Structure formats: structure tokens, C-alpha cells
Amino acid sequence: MRNQIFFCIVNGNGTRATARILGIAKDTVTDALRSIEQNLWFVNYDYINIEAEIAPVEEAEMDEMWSFVPDKSHQCWLWWAIDHNTGDPLAFCFGTREHKNLDALLRLLSPFRIKVVYADDNYAYKSRLTHSDLITGKRPYFLIRQRQSNISGAGRASAKKRAKGNEPASVLERLI
């Protein structure tokens, strides 16, 4: 039965559809998937060893956003950066509003050799960005503000599930 469940899921069926197709309870499907969760990975490791050249990015936008996870006393912060010209995500990290999370983001961005960073007036950017020109303010042409409204609802829902232990951490990361 486990092989049939796995086959249905890999072919794009959800847990309810799989249960309906196989004529079993939805909880049976969920239990079977949880039993093999530790054997799954969320990255295609066949492609990781490929040598890739990282193109420099002239301008990037950086911002942070937060959501309640699962209540107001537990906040989850997303620190992220996108290419200013294309809107493509460059890097992101999750954590608190502490500056160490911005430091983690900056380490991820270092191979891009970014020359100009657009960000809001958060002091963390002013104190940490030393190798790039920083332009602060909330200008309407910033792409990152438009992207935030698109992912905030989905991110909030997924973060709440993650906080309750129903979803692995990587689900939140796939939203970006």
C-alpha cells in the first residue's frame, strides 16, 4: 500500500485525492507519508555538483517582513533580497529581527558582488552594508514591496502550519 501511496503523491495527487483513488482513509495516507519523511529530500542533489558561474548583480533590493507564528508572541522574520532590475530572488533567510540574520543574508549575497542596495531605513542595513552603496527610503518603484504582498499570505499560512509541526521548514523556503 505504501508504494501505491508514494506513486500517487509523486504523480501530483494530494493526500485527499490519493485516499479517494486508493479507497483508504486520509489519515492512512498522512501516516504513510510521515513514516518516510526522513528519507525524502527537498533538493535535487544530482544538480548540486554542477559548476555554475554567478553573474554579478549591479543593484539589489533588500527588505525584511514578519508574520505571527502561531500567535503575536512568536514572530517569524523573512530577510530577503531580489535583483532590482529583474525582480528575481537572490537569497533569503528566516529568523528573528536580530542583526545576525541580516549577517547571514549578506554572507549568502557576497558572491553576487552587489554595488547598489535599495532598502528601507532600518538601522541594520546602515550598520552592516559596507561594500555597497546604500539608498534608503520606500520608493514606489521598488519591486520588493510588490512581491511582499504576493507572498505574505501564503507565507503566513505555511509558517503557522510549520509552528504547529505539520510542515517541514523547507516548505516555507519553497514559497520564495
The tens digit of pLDDT for each residue in 76-132 reads 888 888 888 888 888 888 888 888 888 999 998 988 889 999 888 888 888 888 777
In this structure, what C-alpha cell is assigned to residue 126?
546602515
Task: Delimit the domains of the chain by residue range.
Answer: 2-40, 59-175
**CATH 3.30.420.10 assigned to 59-175:** yes
Cβ neighbours of residue 123 under 8 Å, at least 6 residues apart? none
Strand partners, 135: 118
79 in Cβ contact with 100 (< 8 Å): no
- The crossing angle, in degrees rounded to 10, of helices 15-22 and 26-36 is 120
Label residue 142 by pLDDT band (50, 70, 90): low
Nearest to 59 by CA among 123, 112, 125: 112
Q: What's the CA gap between 64 and 56, in Å, rounded? A: 22
The pTM of the full predicted model, rounded to 2 decimals, is 0.55
Report the amino acid identity of residue 25. A
**pLDDT tens digit sequence for 34-65:** 887 776 655 555 555 667 678 888 999 998 88
Alpha-carbon distances of 55 from 62, 82, 124, 143, rounded to whole Å: 18, 14, 26, 20
